Structure formats: structure tokens, C-alpha cells
């Protein structure tokens, strides 16, 4: 049950007949009931009080997170009958009310009902009006839902952005609810939950969240791994198996993978979801997921966003995920829950494998998604799952074993007869880095294109770094110079021509600076397999940076690779570019410390981006051939890299950003900023060109969740005004 009513004091049950109304007698001066409901519950509560003798004068104590206080009480006046409508919200941590029916001795009936929709409330109240001609209908409206310690003190007592985001999403989902007129005979979804000695309060929270889903065509299967806890076993055995909730009592303890598989084998649904025993399903989640799946028969796999909650189900954060990104998945299991698999394919890939404990879901996910068309993999940006952060989970207690299991799964998933890999640690040591083994050290040739003019210290350093500090065997360097007149620089060019005649070229042409034109000039002279665009104000930190960038071309469909760039003060200058930031495009997490790991540790591993900066940009030969020249006319200086990357994205190429190639970038030192005068006017034109050609103001970048704001480098949660649509990386 999600609703309980407990008499507190000065009350005696007078009668308990077969009638719908239960009679009570107040035999003191302070009678009261305590009404309790679950964290996840039906949104509306209706209290019904009717006197069977004299008038009554009820009082409602509203809990603001500080208990029941007189200053928070609501007196309703005297009357014969009352229907009190209350909006308690579909979730929250304030889970109780107090009702004092009268201030003296009285005989009365009392009933409490909870409902999911306004329509159900209205129907019940109409029924009460037919019974009581003098019924007083009281609207208490929305009550506080969250403990005050959630609220940030610096925002004037307002609820946290996380809570406001969830409240908005769930309210909009509820508005869209419609019950199916004809319910199916078989469940469309089977939710499988492995259980072992789980605390009863966890199981109750999960069960309640399932029962409140407003969908009759689903089933919950609790698969018990021979629990030894009497409390857990008693709770499971006390459940009455039904079409919606079933318990599988496995006779011996075999581990989480075998227990999960036993549950899947009992499933009848076309779709399967795998959940943990200590988590809960968010309000309306199954309804929202079902609408998406039924609306698109091409879907083979769907995953949602997650809410991070504490032991008491208080939200502490959000996991707002990008669209499906296999590169990011190679470093961290960012997909996790709530994920929905097709049962037929799940059985075909062999269910969960024993021996991968701690990362059994990761292993299954990698095998299930292997060879699936990307167009069949959908991200639904709805916070459908509440993940209870606990130090008691297997992967938390045995992190070393879970990490080893994950790396074995990744090694199998990414290896092939013609591609051997190893898996090591990422910047966050428990995350992962695929290390591609280049056979016979046969690295493809790279042409480095460096637009430059004068700036002796910069060009001297970058050339020295390429020839002396970069461990790459097959380099051609082309400096595209638009009018150097510094004798020191000219002398430097002559030095490299003399000592590196086969790998160094200077293309000299006096002209106004146009970055796109310089790139095009360099591309025409290039003779290598791939191209690397490099600013003259870049400084190498580690010798293997270029090998790392080139190895990223081993991922499928990758045409562009970008590096992690730092300012000289060790803060982030480039961790990827988000199309649509500020209505144009912008770097995210600018000026964060170099070790900042970002949401879901994304900056600790490789990931796909729609755009990366042209300051250090590797372009595959195939991508360069497909896209042709850089746009000299519309993007002479600004946004030419964004334009090029979006064109690549539209052509079906993936851009990868890697933190394992890290360099310093002394941004625009040689050219200066684009402020005022001719430069300022050109900059404004190029901004307008980007908006016109790529509609960046409305562009939904798959690398960032639509739940984040686009008005700042360090995005924050943005409160939505409509439910987010399901999405794929390449829409």
C-alpha cells in the first residue's frame, strides 16, 4: 500500500461494517489521524469527513519538513461533511499529514483515497456530493513535497534545480497520460530484479514505484538468489503472485548473473528491463517509454536518464546522458539504467555471462549492441530511474573485480581478427582506455598544416615540438605563411628546409589572414594519408599525443579527432565544442581545472562530439575528400572549424575528443582578438553565416543532454517547458 491511516489519540473505532465508510468516535479533546504515503505515490489525496451527530470542525496540519506545527495548520470551520482535495505530488520526501477531525466529542465517518489524475478525483467528489447535499469541498492545492534541507540557502529558499527539473518533467508526463481503452493480454514489458538479502524497505520502495505506473500490461519479476535473510524471504514469500508481480525463489545461490537469467527465462514481455533491488522506477516512466516504443517499430534498444538519490530517496543529482555514443561507452558504462532490451535478441546473445560479476550489465550491453544499426538505438531524455547511491552494491564493495570484468568485456567487444587491442586505465583509474595495437608499427602518414605569420617564438616552439618531442614516425609538415617579414622566422624556415628537406614545406603567399584559405592551400600540397591542422601557438606536453589521436580513427565512422587543450595556467581551453551554445557554438567547461572530470566522468575518457576546435584537429583522408574545401567565403577566421565539423556530422562522420592527447594552447597569441573595427564586423558576419547555414540556434547537439542549458560554458540544469523527444546521434 502507498497510503496508510493511523489513529494517533482520543479515537475509538465505533463500527467496522461492510459499508465503505468506517465510523469513529472522538472521546477526547485532541483526536487526530496520521496519514502516510510513499516517496513515490499517486499525486492526489482526498480526505472525506462526515458527522454522524453534531457538526465537526476539522483541522489539517501541513508538514513543511519541520513536523506538525500549529502555525502550519489549516482550520476548515464547522460543517456536516467535508471533501478535502490535496495535491501531494507524485514524488517527494515529505510523506505525512495530520488530520484532527474535531475539537470535542463526536461521532463521524472518515475515509482517505489517493488518485493519479484530476479526472479520478472529480469522479470521487461527485459521488460524495450525491451522498451529502451540504458537502463542503475544500481545495488545499499543492503541499510542500521536500524536506527543507534540500533547498540551497543561497537561492532564497527555492528548491534545488534538480528537484525543480524532476517536478517539471513528471508533471508534464502526467498531463500526457491516457489509459488504453483495451488492455493487452500479454505484458509488453518484463522488469527483472535480482534479489539477495535485500532490505525490505528497499524492496517495498521498488514495488510501490512499480505499482504506481498506471500500466496494467507490465510485469515485475523478483528473482531471489537463495537469500539467507529471514526478513527478505518472509517478505518475498508473503507476496501473492499475480499477473503483474511474480517471485522466482531459486534453490541455490549462484550469483547475480545466473539469478538475473532465471528471471528473464520467466519473462513474457516482448521487452525486458533489468533493474536493481535498491532502486525505484520514476513516476510515469513505463507509460512514457511505452509511447516511444510503440511509436517507432525500428527501435531495438532504448535507454533513459537517471536520478541519483540517497538512502532516503532524496535526489542529490542527475545523470543527463548524451545520445548513443559507442566511443564514450568504450570508456564508461554511461548507459546503465533504465535500459530496455528486446527479449528475442537478449536470448540470442546469451543473456548475462557468469564470471563478469560487478560488470555483468556492461558486458551484456556491449554484446547486445554489437552489430546493431545505430539508427535502432534510442536515448529517451526522461529521468525514468532513481539510482540509490549505496556503498553496499557489489561494484562498490568489489571495485577491483568489477573493473577487471569490465575490461575483459571491452577487450572482447572491440577486438577482431584484424584489430588487436588491450584495455588499460583512463584518467579516472577505474574507467577504461582502449589501446589499439598498430601492427608492425605501421602508422599512417600524416601531413601537419600550420597557418602562420611572423611570431618567431611560437613557430620555433611548435616546429621543435613536432620534430623533437613528438613520437610519430611518418610526418610531413607544411607551414602556410601569409606574409612573414621577420628575418628570424625566415631563417628558421631555411633551417628546416635544409635539415628536413623531405618532410618540411613552406607555402609563402602575402595575403590577408584567412584561416580557411590557409587550410585549403595546405591540403592541396599534402601528400599523406591523413591531415592534422595545428595552430602555431600550440605546445606539446607528451610525446605520444599524435599516436593517440591517430589511433582514435580506429573507431567506426570517425572522420575527425580533437585533443584536450589547456591554457598555460593548467585550466581547460578545449574539451569539445557544443553546437548551439549561445545560439552559435562554444567550448564547454572552459577554465575548469585540468583534472576536472565533468558529468559522469566524461572528460576522463574519449567521447564523440559534434564539433572540436581547429587548433588541433586530425582529419581522415576519407573525410577530407568527402567534404572538400574549407569555406573561405563565409568563415575566413571564426567558426570555420565548427562549420567543417557540422558538415562532417551531416555527412555521417563522427568527431572524437580524447583527453589522452593533451597540449597547451596559447590561444590567438599571434593574431589577437576579434574586437571592434574591421575584425569586429567580420566576426559578426561570420556569426550570422553560422546561424544561417546550420540553424545553430535550434541545433540539438547529440553530445549534450537537452536538459542542460546552452547559455554558458559550464552548463546547468535547465527547467523544461515540454517533454524532450527521443533521439539518435545521427538524426
pLDDT in tens, 626-670: 999 999 999 999 999 999 999 999 999 999 999 999 999 997 654
Select, from the ranges 53-62, 180-189, 361-370, the one with the highest average predicted confidence (pLDDT). 361-370
Q: Which residues contact 499 (CB under 8 A, 6 or more apart)?
A: none
pLDDT digits (tens, 9 = 90+) for 457-514: 999 999 999 999 999 999 999 999 999 999 999 999 999 999 999 999 999 999 999 9
Secondary structure (DSSP) of 147-161:
-GGGS-GGGTTPPPH
| Cα distance between residue 137 and residue 83, in whole Å | 5
Mean pLDDT of 272-278: 96
CB atoms within 10 A of CB 490: 16
Query: Measured between alpha carbons, how far is residue 101 from residues 7, 76, 108, 128, 195 in Å?
Result: 11, 10, 8, 18, 43
The helix/strand/coil state of 246 is strand
Residue 670, φ and ψ in degrees, nearest 5: -80, -20
Give percent of the chain above pLDDT 70: 93
pLDDT reported for residue 132: 86
- The candidate with the shortest Cα–Cα distance to 109, out of 47, 160, 175, is 47
pLDDT exceeds cutoff 80 at 375: yes
Query: Measured between alpha carbons, how far is residue 73 from residues 34, 69, 111, 396 in Å?
Result: 14, 7, 20, 44
Neighbouring-strand partners of residue 450: 479
| Cα distance between residue 43 and residue 314, in whole Å | 18
C-alpha cell at 516: 580557411
| Cα distance between residue 501 and residue 486, in whole Å | 22
3-state SS track over 20-73: CCEEEEECCCCCEEEEEECCECCCEEEEEEEECCCCECCEEECCCCCCCCHHHE
pLDDT digits (tens, 9 = 90+) for 340-358: 999 999 999 999 999 998 9
**Is the link from the previous residue into 338 a cis peptide, with omega within 30 of 0?**
yes
Q: Between these two residues, 375 and 667, which has the higher pLDDT value? A: 375
pLDDT reported for residue 393: 52
pLDDT exceeds cutoff 90 at 674: no
Sign (positive/negative) of CA torsion 210, 237, 396, 326? negative
pLDDT reported for residue 154: 33
| Cα distance between residue 192 and residue 290, in whole Å | 17
Q: Between these two residues, 34 and 372, which has the higher pLDDT value? A: 372
| Cα distance between residue 15 and residue 24, in whole Å | 7
Mean pLDDT of 21-46: 83
Q: Between these two residues, 239 and 334, which has the higher pLDDT value? A: 334
The helix/strand/coil state of 165 is helix
| Residue 297 buriedness (CB in 10 A; 0-12 / 13-18 / 19+) | exposed
| Cα distance between residue 452 and residue 374, in whole Å | 40
Q: Where are the alpha helices (DSSP H) in 132-242?
A: 161-175, 200-211, 230-238
pLDDT reported for residue 65: 63
| Cα distance between residue 730 and residue 555, in whole Å | 16
**What average pLDDT is seen over the chain?**
90
pLDDT digits (tens, 9 = 90+) for 300-321: 999 999 999 988 888 889 999 9
The model's pTM: 0.84
| Cα distance between residue 200 and residue 224, in whole Å | 13
Model confidence at 180, in pLDDT bands (50, 70, 90)? Answer: very low
pLDDT exceeds cutoff 90 at 339: yes
- The candidate with the shortest Cα–Cα distance to 398, out of 361, 356, 365, 427, is 356
Q: Between these two residues, 149 and 555, which has the higher pLDDT value? A: 555
pLDDT reported for residue 363: 97
433-440 contacts at long range (C-beta below 8 A, 24 or more positions apart): 433/331, 433/605, 433/606, 433/660, 434/330, 434/331, 434/410, 434/606, 435/551, 436/551, 436/554, 438/551
Mean pLDDT of 38-44: 81
Mean pLDDT of 201-206: 92
Model confidence at 199, in pLDDT bands (50, 70, 90)? Answer: very high
C-alpha cell at 386: 532513481
C-alpha cell at 190: 518484463
CB atoms within 10 A of CB 508: 12
C-alpha cell at 339: 535500459
Asked if residues 108 and 58 have their Cβ atoms less than 8 Å apart, the reply is: no
Q: How far is CA 26 from the centre of its chain?
A: 52
pLDDT exceeds cutoff 60 at 17: no
Amino acid at each position: 500500500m502507498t497510503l496508510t491511516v493511523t489513529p494517533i489519540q482520543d479515537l475509538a473505532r465505533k463500527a467496522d461494517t461492510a459499508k465503505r465508510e468506517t465510523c469513529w468516535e472522538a472521546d477526547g479533546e485532541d483526536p487526530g489521524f496520521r496519514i502516510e504515503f510513499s516517496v513515490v505515490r499517486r499525486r492526489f489525496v482526498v480526505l472525506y469527513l462526515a458527522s454522524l451527530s453534531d457538526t465537526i470542525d476539522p483541522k489539517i496540519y501541513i508538514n513543511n519538513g519541520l513536523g506538525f506545527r500549529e502555525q502550519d495548520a489549516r482550520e476548515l470551520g464547522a460543517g456536516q461533511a467535508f471533501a478535502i482535495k490535496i495535491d501531494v505530488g507524485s514524488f517527494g520526501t515529505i510523506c505525512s499529514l495530520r488530520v484532527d477531525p474535531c475539537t470535542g466529542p463526536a461521532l463521524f465517518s472518515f475515509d482517505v483515497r489517493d488518485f493519479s489524475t484530476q479526472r479520478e478525483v472529480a469522479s470521487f467528489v461527485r459521488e460524495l456530493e450525491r451522498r451529502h447535499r451540504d458537502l463542503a469541498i475544500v481545495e488545499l492545492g499543492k503541499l510542500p513535497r521536500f524536506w527543507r534541507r534540500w533547498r540551497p540557502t543561497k537561492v532564497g529558499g527555492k528548491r534545488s534545480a534538480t528537484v525543480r527539473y524532476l517536478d517539471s518533467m513528471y508533471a508534464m508526463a502526467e498531463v500526457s497520460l491516457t489509459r488504453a481503452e483495451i488492455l493487452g493480454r500479454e505484458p509488453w514489458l518484463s522488469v527483472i530484479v535480482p534479489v539477495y538479502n535485500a532490505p525490505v524497505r528497499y524492496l517495498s520502495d521498488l514495488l510501490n514505484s512499480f505499482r504506481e505506473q498506471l500500466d496494467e500490461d507490465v510485469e515485475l519479476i523478483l528473482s531471489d538468489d537463495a537469500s539467507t535473510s529471514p526478513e527478505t524471504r518472509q517478505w518475498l514469500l508473503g507476496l501473492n503472485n499475480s499477473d503483474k508481480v511474480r517471485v522466482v525463489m531459486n534453490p541455490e545461490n549462484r550469483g547475480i548473473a545466473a539469478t538475473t537469467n532465471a528471471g528473464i527465462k520467466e519473462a513474457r514481455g516482448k521487452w525486458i528491463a533489468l533493474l536493481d533491488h535498491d532502486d525505484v522506477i520514476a513516476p510515469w516512466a513505463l507509460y512514457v517509454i511505452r509511447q516511444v516504443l510503440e511509436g517507432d517499430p525500428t527501435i531495438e534498444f532504448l535507454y533513459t536518464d537517471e536520478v541519483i538519490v540517497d538512502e532516503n530517496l532524496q535526489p542529490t543529482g542527475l545523470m543527463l546522458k548524451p545520445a548513443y555514443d559507442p566511443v564514450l561507452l568504450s570508456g564508461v558504462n554511461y548507459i546503465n539504467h533504465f535500459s530496455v532490451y528486446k527479449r528475442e535478441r537478449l536470448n540470442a546473445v546469451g543473456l548475462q555471462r557468469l564470471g563478469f560479476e560487478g560488470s555483468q550489465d556492461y558486458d551484456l550491453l556491449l554484446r547486445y549492441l554489437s552489430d546493431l544499426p545505430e539508427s535502432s538505438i534510442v536515448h529517451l531524455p526522461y529521468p525514468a530511474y532513481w539510482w540509490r547511491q549505496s556503498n553496499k552494491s557489489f561494484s562498490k564493495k568489489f571495485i577491483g573485480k568489477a573493473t577487471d570484468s569490465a575490461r575483459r568485456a571491452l577487450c572482447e567487444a572491440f577486438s577482431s581478427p584484424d584489430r588487436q587491442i588491450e584495455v588499460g586505465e583512463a584518467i579516472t583509474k577505474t574507467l577504461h582506455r582502449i589501446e589499439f595495437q598498430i601492427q608492425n608499427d605501421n602508422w599512417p602518414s600524416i601531413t601537419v598544416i600550420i597557418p602562420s605569420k611572423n611570431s618567431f617564438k611560437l613557430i620555433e616552439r611548435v616546429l621543435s615540438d613536432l620534430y623533437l618531442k613528438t613520437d610519430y614516425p611518418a610526418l610531413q609538415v607544411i607551414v602556410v605563411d601569409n606574409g612573414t617579414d621577420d628575418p628570424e622566422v625566415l631563417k628558421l624556415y631555411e633551417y628546416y628546409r635544409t635539415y628536413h628537406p623531405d618532410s618540411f614545406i613552406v607555402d609563402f603567399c602575402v595575403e590577408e589572414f584567412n584561416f580557411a584559405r590557409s587550410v585549403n592551400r595546405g591540403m592541396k600540397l599534402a601528400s599523406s594519408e591523413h591531415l592534422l591542422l595545428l595552430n602555431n601557438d600550440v605546445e606539446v606536453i607528451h610525446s605520444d599525443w599524435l599516436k593517440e589521436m591517430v589511433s582514435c580513427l580506429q573507431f567506426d565512422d570517425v572522420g575527425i579527432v580533437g585533443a584536450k587543450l589547456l591554457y598555460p595556467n593548467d585550466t581547460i581551453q578545449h574539451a569539445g565544442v557544443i553546437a548551439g551554445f549561445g545560439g552559435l557554438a562554444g567550448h564547454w567547461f572552459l577554465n575548469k581545472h585540468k583534472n576536472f572530470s565533468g558529468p559522469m566522468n566524461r572528460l576522463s575518457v574519449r567521447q564523440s562530439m559534434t564539433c572540436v576546435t581547429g587548433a588541433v584537429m586530425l582529419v581522415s583522408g576519407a573525410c577530407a575528400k568527402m567534404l572538400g574545401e574549407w569555406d573561405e567565403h563565409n568563415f575566413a577566421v571564426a567558426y570555420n572549424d565548427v562549420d567543417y565539423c557540422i558538415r562532417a556530422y551531416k555527412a555521417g562522420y563522427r568527431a572524437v575528443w580524447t583527453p589522452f592527447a593533451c597540449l597547451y594552447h596559447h590561444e590567438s597569441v599571434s593574431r589577437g582578438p576579434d574586437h571592434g573595427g574591421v575584425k569586429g564586423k567580420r566576426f559578426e558576419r561570420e556569426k550570422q553565416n553560422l546561424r544561417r547555414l546550420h540553424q545553430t540556434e535550434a541545433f540539438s547537439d547529440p553530445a549534450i543532454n537537452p536538459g542542460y542549458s546552452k547559455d554558458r560554458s559550464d552548463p546547468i540544469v535547465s527547467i523544461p517547458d515540454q517533454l524532450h523527444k527521443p533521439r539518435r546521434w545521427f538524426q
